[in-house]
Every structure is written in C-alpha cells, then in structure tokens.
Amino acid sequence: MEKVTEIFGTMVFDDRQMKARLSEKVYKSLKRTIDRGTKLDSSVADAVAAAMKDWALEKGATHYTHWFQPETGLTAEKHDSFITPAPDGRVIMEFSGKELVKGEPDASSFPSGGLRATFEARGYTAWDPTSYAFIKDGTLYIPTAFCSYTGEALDKKVPLLRSMEALSRQAMRILKLFGKDNVRSVRTSVGPEQEYFLVDRDMWKERKDLIMTGRTLFGAMPPKGQEMDDHYFGSIKPRVAEYMADLDRELWKLGIYAKTKHNEVAPAQHELAPIYDTTNIAADHNQLTMEIMQKVAQRHNLVCLLHEKPFAGVNGSGKHNNWSISTDQGENLLSPGETPQENAQFLLFLAAVIKAVDDYQDLLRLSVATAGNDHRLGANEAPPAVISIFLGDELTAILEAIEKDVPYGGTKKEKMQLGVDVLPKFSKDTTDRNRTSPFAFTGNKFEFRMLGSSNSISCANIHLNAAVAEVLKQFADELEPASDFHTALHALIQKTIRDHKRIIFNGNGYDDAWIAEAEKRGLMNLKTTADAMPHLCDEKNVKMLTAHGIFSEPELYSRRDIMLENYIKSVAIEANTMADMAQKEILPAVISFTADTASSAAAKQSLVPGAACAREKRVVTELSTLTDEMDAAVTTLTEDIAKLHTLTEIPEASAYVRDTLIPAMEALRSVADKAETLTSEDYWPFPTYDKLLFGV
Ligand code: ADP
Ligand code: MG
C-alpha cells in the first residue's frame, strides 16, 4: 500500500498543483481571489482552466462538471466532456476560463419554492475558487454556487458564503476596537463529526423500507440492543475495519482530512471525524464524505445508512458541528487566551454567541429540522429539541461573578475588571463531559450537536453565522461610539449575561425536569419540523437575515416552503411504503403462519384427542386479533394518505402529517411489531432487527 502522504490529495487541484502549474503572476492573482475574494479577470481564468484541464487529462479524466448543492440537501452535477471538434475531423480537449467560471445547468427541476417559473428556468453555477476542484470517477469536479439569472440563491452555498462574509465584516469591527487593525478577514471553521450505520447489503435488499426510505418502518426490538454499552469505542470488526480503511483512502485522495473513526453507542453504528476546515470547504467535504461512504460500502457488500433513525429503540445518528471563529492571522476568537486583553475579547465573543443562540433559538432549531431528525430531537433522545448552551460549571461561575460584580471562586478575592484582570483558569477537560447538550462550549469552539446525520451542514452554519454576525453588529454599534471602551465593554458583557443567562444549562438534557424548567425560562420547544419551520419567516428572522444580505425575503419564503414540502413528501413516502409492506408482506405472512398453526393444532387433536394445544391456541387467538387490528390500521393509514393528497396548502398539509399521518403510522407499526414477536422467523418476510444490527 502506498503511504498516506503519497496518496493524500492526489485527486485534488490544490495549492501544490496551482503553484507548480501556473505562472507566478496567475498564481498570485488566483491566491488573491481565494484569500480575499477579489475579482478574477478572464485571462487568469483561462490560464487556470488550461492548467486544470491538463492536470485532469493526465489523471485520465474526460469530463468536467460544475458540482453544486441545490436545496434538496444533496449534490447535483451535469457532466460535459472536454472534447471540441478540430477542423480535420479529430477532437481536441479544451476547457476555457468561461467554462470554468460559469455553467448553465437547466434549473427547472430543482426545487425553488416558487421563486422561478419553469419557463424562465435558467440558472447558472459560478465557480467557488476557495474550494479546490477534484477528480472523481474520471470527471473533474468544480465546486460551484448556484443562482438564478435574477440573482436569487438556488442552493445552500450562496447563503453560506454570504453568512461567512457577514460574520467577517462584523467581527472585524469588534477586533478594531481591540486595536487589531491588521486583521484582513475573519472566518469560521467547522469540523463535522459524522455518524452512520452499516448493514449487510443482502439483508438490506430484502427490506423495502430501507430501500425506499433509509430507515426501518417496522421491527420489534431484538433480545439485545445497546443496553450493554459494549459497542461504544469497542473493537472494530474486521469487515468494518476494512471498510473504514478503504473509506479513509478514498477520502484522503480527495484531500479530505479523515482523522478519527470509532464505533458508536448503538450496535452497527460508527463515526468518522475529519480535521476542521473553513466552513464552505467543510460543507463541500462533508457532502462528498457522505457520498463516498455510501459508494465504498457497496464495494464491501454493505450499505451505509445516513438516516437519523434507521432503527427504533437504539440511538439515532447525528452530526456534531464543531464551530469556531478565527482571524486570517490564526487567532481563535473563542480561545480564552492568556492576557487580560485577550480574555476581555474572548468574553465579548463568548457573550455574542450566548446572545445569538438565545435570540435565534428558532433559527438554529429549524436549521436542522427534517422528518428524519424529528425522531431524535424531541423524541426520547439527546439532544432535546430545546436549545440551550453548556458552558461547564467553572466558566458559568466566572460569568456569574462578572454579572454580579462579585469575587470569583475561593482563591481570588478581587472582582473581575475586564481588560485589567486575568481570567481565572478553567480546565478545558471539564467542558466536554456533557454529551446531552445541544450546544456545548468545548474549550475553544462550540459543538452544535443537533444536526441530523444526513443534514447538509450548510443550513446550521448559515443561521449560526448570521445570528452571531447580528449580535456582533449590535455590540459594535454600541461600543464604537463609547468614550471609555473598557467601561462600556464591562457593562455590555454584564448586561448580556444578565439578559441571556436563561439559555445556559449545564445539567442533563435528557431529563424531563429540564424540559419543564426550560419552559419556565421561556425557552422554545419546537418538537417537529412542522412546528419549527414556519418560524423561518417570523418578522425578526426575516429582518435579521435580509439586513445582513444573507437571504432576500422571497428566498426565505421559498426555502420555508421547500423544507416543509420535503417534510411532507418524506413522511408520505414512508406511509406509502408502510401500507405496501403491511399489505403485501406482513399480513400475508402472519395470516399463513396463523392458518398453518391452526391446521397443525387440528391435525394434532385428531391424532391425540383432547390435546390441549395451549401454545397453538394462544398464538392463533392473539395473531387473529392482531391481524384484524393491523387490517384496520392499514385501512386508516391508506385513507389518511388519500386525504393528504387533497390538502393543497403547505402549512395545513404539514400539520396534518404531524397530527394525523405520523400517529397512524405509529399505530400500524405497533401492531405489526407485536405480531412479529409471535410469528415464526421462518415466516417473517424480511430480516429482523437482530440480524440487521448484529449481522455485519
Ligand atoms: P473530541 O470531541 O473527540 O474530543 P475534538 O473536540 O478534538 O475531539 O474534535 C472533534 C472535532 O472538532 C474534529 O472534527 C476536530 O477537527 C474539530 N475541531 C477541533 N478544533 C476545532 C476548532 N478550533 N474549530 C472547529 N473545529 C474544531
Ligand atoms: Mg467532540
């Protein structure tokens, strides 16, 4: 096997390639575009395109594609070959700067939430030079943003880049107040920890629910689940280890810093974490990672399930969005630092995040809302649907001392004077113990843990960046005119802690008592997508997001509708699949088993008159009842699905899904799962939980 250092980034047109293949002038000009967002002139674009093409041809590529992230949350691509006819009938391989910079896929089939009538379906993709191009399956992939001709964002990358710019703008205003005039940009970085399940492909093929919806819609709990905690960080089985090794190599070739891998809490559940990177690159890489995970699984006759809740009764899968803010000089603004100045600056940024999360709880909650993730958030699983921040006891105590102007702790008897005193040391280790918090400070970054495993990380980061940008703006507006900066700063931080400490919670987020307490504190508890999503268009959110140029008002309305439609459609597909499986697979199996049991009991009694046949009688009696109940449940579900199709208003339909369709699905499942426990395995029409969870 080649060494990691030799394969890493071999399929990426990265800085090494740019340096080696571009003239110094072109390289410098491109670097300026990448680092500072300056405009790229067309001669530079031509030179870059030519170098990229030569490199791609050397690697055996024949096609190129503008790769983008439409609002479906997936990725999309349209492949063009490099060939251009030459006058003598041969072809030459060409790729111009124009083709690199701009593409025109037909946008009509991507969801736009009414933004764009189909007759004016044209949208265009624009190269994002900050995210390196790469080769996959013989095609040169060019990461791009996707807009309509009227300039509306039709993807997740445009608003993400806008939110990063907004945060950079406002953070720089704050840094100026601390005398940091040399900072040219501020960026957010993200390291997304990705959870997933692996199941055997042959078993997967036998389950319509997994094929159609990515999760099991039926299935009784196996004799053993995750109660022994023996899987978490346990030794990795050989077949899984081979998969992981193969996956790492594929990711490394694409320049993705896959770093950590381990088993997760549930059986068959695993995690992969990359080293963090600039947010838009992390977003591109996470989309690629999810795709490669599924592709590599095929080679091992496995299926990688990215659904948030593939199995009821065992942990679901999330994605932890580790997020930090840093300057182009490499200073992490969420790191406490060593000096009083650094401490004061840290506390200001910390206060900004606290206020942002409190003010925009709804935006954060809805940024991760999908039908799949509703099974984690708001169900009996961590994190809960209520947003709160974990700071750890020590940091919380420090903030409390600042708020109340009282001495901190037992050792230092002085009050904290910001900008003068050094922050008392708090140990980083104690900050990461709480695994149930949706939003935890982990020493020099925040970990937003509510994302679902299949979510694009873009939405969460758009809203997080935007909310923090807004609060930094408010802070800068207040501090810039102050005559005495440190006094104003102290007062501002005190006030912020006082007004927003309700969002800080260091206890157990699983606990029902917390949900009651959160309600007392006035925190929002948006249990489902149907509850959360409409808040996107609340006046305060529209005002904030448009003020920073992250979304236009029409973009927001369209996005809300697209997300709600996704919710409605995903649940409807699940409901249809359930009805189908119940009618064509489960009911016939249960009916045959009941009939066979009844006839064998009759046969037995004819041979042994008076035989009790207790077991047979019980099975037949109970299964007969369950069959009738299942029949009724499936009839109800089918009627409910039909009713859904008559609802044309999105809000009404999504509420109906939440209040009627999902409960009807749960009712059907509950009867079917009971029947499963009484039915012979030989009759059961598809692999059960024990086989799926322990079969790899
Ligand atoms: P663990 O949570 O297992 O202790 P870490 O907290 O070190 O591990 O890292 C978890 C994820 O957070 C990784 O993807 C890592 O790259 C990322 N991460 C670490 N530091 C930062 C940072 N400053 N900003 C953003 N992400 C970070
Ligand atoms: Mg972590």
> What does the pLDDT read at residue 400?
92
Find, among 21, 24, 79, the residue nearest to 52 by Cα.
21
DSSP symbols for 285-336 = HHHHHHHHHHHHHHHTTEEEE--S-SSTTS---EEEEEEEEEETT--BTTS-
Q: How does pLDDT run across 641-659, given as a tens digit for each residue?
A: 999 999 999 999 999 999 9
> What does the pLDDT read at residue 436?
83
pLDDT (mean) for 361-367: 98
| Residues with Cβ within 8 Å of residue 544, at least 6 apart in sequence | 360, 466, 467, 470
What is the number of the ligand 1 atom nearest to the C-alpha of 320? 11
What six digits make up the tokens of 240? 């899984």
Q: How does pLDDT run across 262-306, given as a tens digit for each residue?
A: 888 788 999 999 999 999 999 999 999 999 999 999 999 999 999
Q: How does pLDDT run across 436-456, given as a tens digit for each residue?
A: 899 999 999 999 999 999 999
> What does the pLDDT read at residue 147?
86
Q: What angle do CA 668, 672, 674 make, to 5 degrees?
A: 120
Amino acid of residue 214: G
- What is the torsional sign of CA 45, 49, 50, 55? positive
Ligand 1 centre distance from Cα of residue 575 (Å): 38
Least confident of 35-39, 185-189, 249-253, 399-403: 35-39
Residue 382: pLDDT over 90: no
What is the number of the ligand 1 atom nearest to the C-alpha of 334? 23
- How many CB atoms sit inside 10 A of residue 164's CB? 24
Ligand 1 centre distance from Cα of residue 169 (Å): 25
Q: How does pLDDT run across 329-354, given as a tens digit for each residue?
A: 999 999 988 888 889 999 999 999 99
Ligand 2 centre distance from Cα of residue 191 (Å): 9
Ligand 1 centre distance from Cα of residue 325 (Å): 13
| pTM of structure | 0.94
To test the pocket of ligand 1, the residue of 195, 320, 322, 457 to mutate (highest count of ligand atoms within 8 Å of its CB) is: 322
What six digits make up the tokens of 689? 């939980």
How are beta strands 79-81 and 258-263 bridged, if at all? Answer: unpaired
What six digits make up the tokens of 430? 């104690």
Q: How does pLDDT run across 513-524, given as a tens digit for each residue?
A: 999 999 999 999
Find, among 319, 322, 324, the residue nearest to 370 by Cα.
319
pLDDT (mean) for 151-167: 92
> What does the pLDDT read at residue 119?
44
Ligand 2 centre distance from Cα of residue 666 (Å): 33
Residue 110: pLDDT over 70: no
| For ligand 1, atom 6: residue with the closest CA | 442
Least confident of 99-103, 226-230, 349-353, 678-682: 226-230
| For ligand 1, atom 11: residue with the closest CA | 191
Ligand 2 centre distance from Cα of residue 192 (Å): 9
What residues are in contact with ligand 1 under a 6 Å CB criterion? 189-191, 193, 273-276, 322-324, 332, 442, 444-445
Least confident of 55-69, 421-435, 627-641: 421-435
> What does the pLDDT read at residue 252?
96
What is the number of the ligand 1 atom nearest to the C-alpha of 335? 23
Residue 417: pLDDT over 50: yes
pLDDT (mean) for 126-131: 90
